[in-house]
Amino acid sequence: MRKDRGWIAIDTIIKLYKPFFEATDWHAALFTGSGLLTIAMLAVMECLLSVDNAVVLATQTRSLEDPVKERHALVYGLWGAYLFRFIAIGLGTYLMKFWGIKALGAGYLLYMSLHFFYEQHKPKPTDTDTVVPKKKRSFWGTVATIELLDIVFSIDSILTALAIDNNPVIVLLGGCIGILAMRLVAQVMITLLARIPELLYMAYVLIAVIAIKLALSLPMINIEIPNVAFSLFVFGAFGVTMFWHYRKEQQNGIKHTHKENK
């Protein structure tokens, strides 16, 4: 009986992670325009949604007060994030085959989007709030904290990616490229979002659109939006947001000039 259970467990694991080693999935990811476009889109979405993660990780590693240890902690955290992605995407790809899980995923993504915009209208804490000094952590304690934070922060982006594409290779590559890019250009992304805050709003509007896309794919509706069309929509939204921001800045500059002339 125990042997049977063991074989069942092994067979289940093989079924979950076999798609990562399928030549057809790798070909669809790396040798088709649709696959490459989707990977690029997922990487951009990962960067936009992981800025808060980058800020928190930076504060955690700074507590080590040693640049060498900080770099090592982030490297260990990066590999841990990749391992978790591999495990979570394999499990998630299987679960997303059930329409009930898809419906829950669509509902949660919509909640994420609405909750973000609700939070924007809540009063922000003042600078006079008391700050409790943090205790200095050990190196491995910091690594463990980074891993835990990576898991917590990545759940939303994994669900978002799986709602866009059900090819685990595409989802894994897009997420891993996004994680690496986020680590390398964290400060650039933070500065970019500080200068163009509309990009973060755009990301959460896109999450609501992704929730609708996932809901439309439910069996009782059965409307599939092609990934190429959706990827072009995402990059188009990015371009429109940038244009709108700079257009608004230009108009504000003109108004400011008129006031000075008066």
Least confident of 23-32, 113-122, 129-138, 245-254: 129-138
**Mean pLDDT within 37-64:** 74
The reply to whether 52 falls in a domain is yes
The reply to whether 129 falls in a domain is no
User: Given pLDDT bands bounded at 50, 70 and 90, which one contains residue 51?
Assistant: low
> What residues make up the domain containing 210?
2-123+134-261
The reply to whether 128 falls in a domain is no
Are the beta carbons of 199 and 149 closer than 8 angstroms? no
The reply to whether 61 falls in a domain is yes
User: Given pLDDT bands bounded at 50, 70 and 90, which one contains residue 31?
Assistant: very high
Are the beta carbons of 44 and 161 closer than 8 angstroms? no
Residue given tokens 């329409």 in the structure block: 99
The reply to whether 119 falls in a domain is yes
Closest listed residue to residue 64, CA positions, set 146, 179, 131? 146
Q: Record the tokens describing residue 149, joined without a space.
A: 């934070």
Structural domains in the chain (count) = 1
